[in-house]
Structures are given as C-alpha cells and as structure tokens.
C-alpha cells in the first residue's frame, strides 16, 4: 500500500511530516511521490498567516478533487490549520476522511487501523525484525545532508500578534534523551548539518526539572557526532539573549555563526505593544556584540510590518535596518 504526504509550513512542520512518514513505514506502508498512485494521502497544514491558510486550503481542495476521480483514496489532514479550525473544516469539507492533532509519535494509532481495514492492505511489517524496520525509516522532505531537529513544542511568550500559543499550546521542552535519539537517526540517514528548531530555542530545558537552559548541553552533545560538520540554530528569542549566553553557545566549534534572531521591530513603543520583552537599545547591544566578537557572522533578523501600523513606526524600522550592520539577508513580513 502506498501513501503520499504534502508538507506545508515551517521547518517544525517538516519534522512532524517526517515523523508521520516514519510511523507509516514501520506499519508496512510505502511512500510515493506521485499522489495519483497513493491509496492514502496526508496533508500537513499551516495556519499561521493568511497566505499560509490559503495555501493549505488550496492543497486540501486539490486533493478533494482528486478523490472525486478516485473515490477509494483516503485523505487525512493535520497541522496548525486543523488545530485552529478543526470544527469549521470538518463541517465545510466533509470529503476529508480524518482530521487529527499531531503531537508526536503514536498520533496515528487511534485511527490508522480503521483506514487500513477499509483499504485492505496486502503488505504487513509485523513479521519484520525491529532492526530492519528502523533501517527502512528514512527521510523524504529534506535533503539527506540536512537534518531538522525539533527540541520543543509550543510557545509561552504570548507576543500579541502571534497565534502560535493558541495553536500549539504552551512551551514544552522535549527530553534531552529523546532529542538526542532523533539526532542519531538524522545522522544515520545522512545529515551533516543539524538545524535546531523550536518556537524559542533559548527556552529549551527551562520548563524541566532543573529549570535551566539545556541548549549549551545539547550543542555540546551534537558536536560529538564525528559525521556532523555544522550546527545551525534558529529562532533565538532576543529577550533571553545576553552577550555571555551568545559567547557560550556560539563559541562551540561546529555551531555556525548564523544568528537567527527575530527582532520584529525597532520602535520601543511597538515592541512594547508586541509584548516582546526587549528594547531597541538591547537589540543594538546584541548586534554590536555579535559584529565585534563574530566577524564572519550572518545575522538574520525578521522585521514585522503591520498593514495598519503608523507610517512613522515603519520609518523607524527601515531606518534601523539601514543604519545597522546587517547582512543583506532579512525577512520583511507584511501581515
């Protein structure tokens, strides 16, 4: 039996898609890149901004049209859009066979056996040894040399413009042992660059028993893989950064001097309204430290322009970009 998966949204969604695919492989399913040949199709949706919602809905409706031609195909949807609008989607798109809230391994066990019985799969992996089943579980949605490593779920920052806490819940660190198990699998499947992702990587471990940041410990352990050449960090929350903390994590040999720090704005008034917990002066302090101590650094700030924002606040942000020593690499979002 063959399955196909459409993965939309951020790198954290990619990790979820890889997990769903791995779970299906261990149950005897075979992945196909051709949705026309699949008996079971999954779509991992994004529901963060308007464009992402529209893209997800377009993907779902395209699959619904496919089902009109092939009524036997089963379509399942999960991800942020489903988490946010499950009731409305279930009512308005009844052609979907199942909606589910993916929160880690085991999410498929509640409904997949029912779909399998409907589809009558001919293949079964129950007789295979665990070692062979693990060997068969590869990756499909990322290049083999790159591995995304998700270290947490949710967010507790409560930025006023962000829907993530309402979709994914409060911040929850994954156990370090589980994270390292995933890292080992990524290395075994060819990863030479590990990209650490979370909604807030700087908070990793602070919600666990010792209430201390485990990011330095994680990076040290990742650096011990001889196959890994580079480690890249994403989504560093500036409110929890300090020059000392930057030195601690970025002076580790394999950690790239790639600073993915969502500044969001450069107006103190707007930053306060956003509930960012940081000031323009603090952002400048961090930026100066990076440029002075990491001469080959790449800084990727993200600036958030609201359509209804005052022209003056947009000018402040643009002026900050023009006068700050950024690389010519940044995102401007207008939502």
Q: Identify whether residues 56 and 150 lie together within a single domain.
A: no
pLDDT, position 89 = 94
Q: Identify whether residues 258 and 151 lie together within a single domain.
A: yes
Q: For the residues of 135-186, what is the DSSP string, one character each?
A: HH---SSS-TTEEEEE-EE------TT--HHHHH-S-EEPPHHHHHHHHHHH
Rounded distance between C-alpha atoms, residue 173 and residue 11, angstroms: 17
Among 97, 130, 163, the domain boundary falls at 130
Among 130, 147, 166, the domain boundary falls at 130
Q: Identify whether residues 329 and 254 lie together within a single domain.
A: yes
Among 112, 130, 148, the domain boundary falls at 130
Q: Identify whether residues 102 and 187 lie together within a single domain.
A: no
pLDDT, position 93 = 94
Q: Identify whether residues 81 and 208 lie together within a single domain.
A: no
- Non-local (6+) Cβ contacts of 163 within 8 A are 47, 48, 84
pLDDT, position 125 = 42
Q: Are 40 and 1 in contact (CB under 8 A)?
A: yes
Q: Identify whether residues 241 and 330 lie together within a single domain.
A: yes
Positive or negative, the Cα torsion across 113, 29, 8, 172? positive
- Indicate the number of domains in the chain: 2
Range of the domain at 255: 132-334
Q: pTM for this structure?
A: 0.84
Q: Identify whether residues 230 and 311 lie together within a single domain.
A: yes
Q: Identify whether residues 149 and 207 lie together within a single domain.
A: yes
β-bridge mates for residue 233, sequence order: 196
pLDDT, position 47 = 87
CATH code where residue 89 lies? 3.40.50.12160
How many other β-carbons are positioned within 10 Å of the β-carbon of residue 210? 8
pLDDT, position 257 = 95
Residue 15 tokens read as: 């990790």
Q: Identify whether residues 242 and 326 lie together within a single domain.
A: yes
Q: Are 8 and 44 in contact (CB under 8 A)?
A: yes
Q: Identify whether residues 6 and 122 lie together within a single domain.
A: yes
CATH code where residue 286 lies? 3.80.30.20
Q: Identify whether residues 34 and 140 lie together within a single domain.
A: no
Rounded distance between C-alpha atoms, residue 228 and residue 180, angstroms: 13
Beta strands in the chain (DSSP E): 2-7, 30-31, 40-45, 74-79, 98-100, 146-150, 152-153, 172-173, 193-197, 230-233, 258-264, 298-305, 331-334
pLDDT, position 1 = 83
Q: Identify whether residues 103 and 210 lie together within a single domain.
A: no
SS3 content of the chain, % helix, strand, coil (to 5): 40, 20, 40
* DSSP symbol at 110: T
Rounded distance between C-alpha atoms, residue 243 and residue 282, angstroms: 10
Q: Can you list the residues of the chain whose pLDDT is less than 50? A: 122, 125, 127-136, 307-308, 328-335
């Amino acid at each position: 039996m063959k399955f196909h998966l459409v993965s939309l949204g951020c790198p954290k969604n990619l990790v979820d898609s890889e997990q769903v695919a791995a779970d299906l492989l261990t149950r005897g399913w075979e992945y196909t890149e051709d949705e026309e040949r699949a008996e079971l199709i999954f779509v991992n949706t994004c529901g963060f901004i308007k464009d992402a919602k529209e893209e997800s809905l377009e993907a779902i409706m395209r699959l619904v049209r496919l089902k009109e031609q092939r009524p036997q195909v089963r379509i399942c949807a999960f991800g942020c859009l489903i988490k946010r609008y499950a009731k409305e989607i279930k009512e308005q798109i009844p052609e979907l066979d199942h909606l589910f809230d993916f929160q880690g391994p085991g999410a498929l066990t509640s409904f997949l056996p029912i779909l399998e019985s409907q589809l009558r799969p001919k293949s079964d992996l129950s007789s295979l040894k665990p070692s062979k089943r693990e060997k068969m579980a590869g990756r499909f949605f990322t290049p083999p040399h790159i591995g995304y490593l998700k270290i947490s779920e949710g967010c507790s920052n409560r930025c006023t413009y962000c829907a993530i806490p309402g979709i994914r819940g409060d911040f929850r660190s994954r156990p370090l042992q589980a994270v390292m198990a995933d890292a080992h699998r990524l290395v075994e499947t060819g990863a030479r660059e590990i990209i650490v992702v979370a909604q807030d990587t700087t908070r990793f471990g602070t919600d666990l028993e010792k209430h201390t940041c485990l990011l330095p410990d994680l990076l040290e352990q990742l650096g011990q893989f001889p196959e890994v050449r580079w480690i890249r960090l994403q989504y560093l929350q500036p409110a929890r950064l300090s020059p000392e903390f930057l030195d601690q994590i970025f002076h580790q040999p394999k950690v790239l001097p790639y600073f993915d720090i969502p500044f969001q704005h450069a107006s103190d008034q707007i930053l306060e309204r956003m509930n960012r917990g940081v000031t323009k002066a603090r952002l400048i302090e961090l930026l100066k430290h990076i440029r002075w101590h990491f001469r080959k650094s790449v800084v990727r700030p993200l600036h958030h322009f609201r359509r209804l924002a005052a022209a003056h606040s947009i000018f402040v942000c643009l002026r900050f970009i023009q006068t700050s020593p950024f690389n010519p690499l940044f995102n401007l979002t207008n939502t």
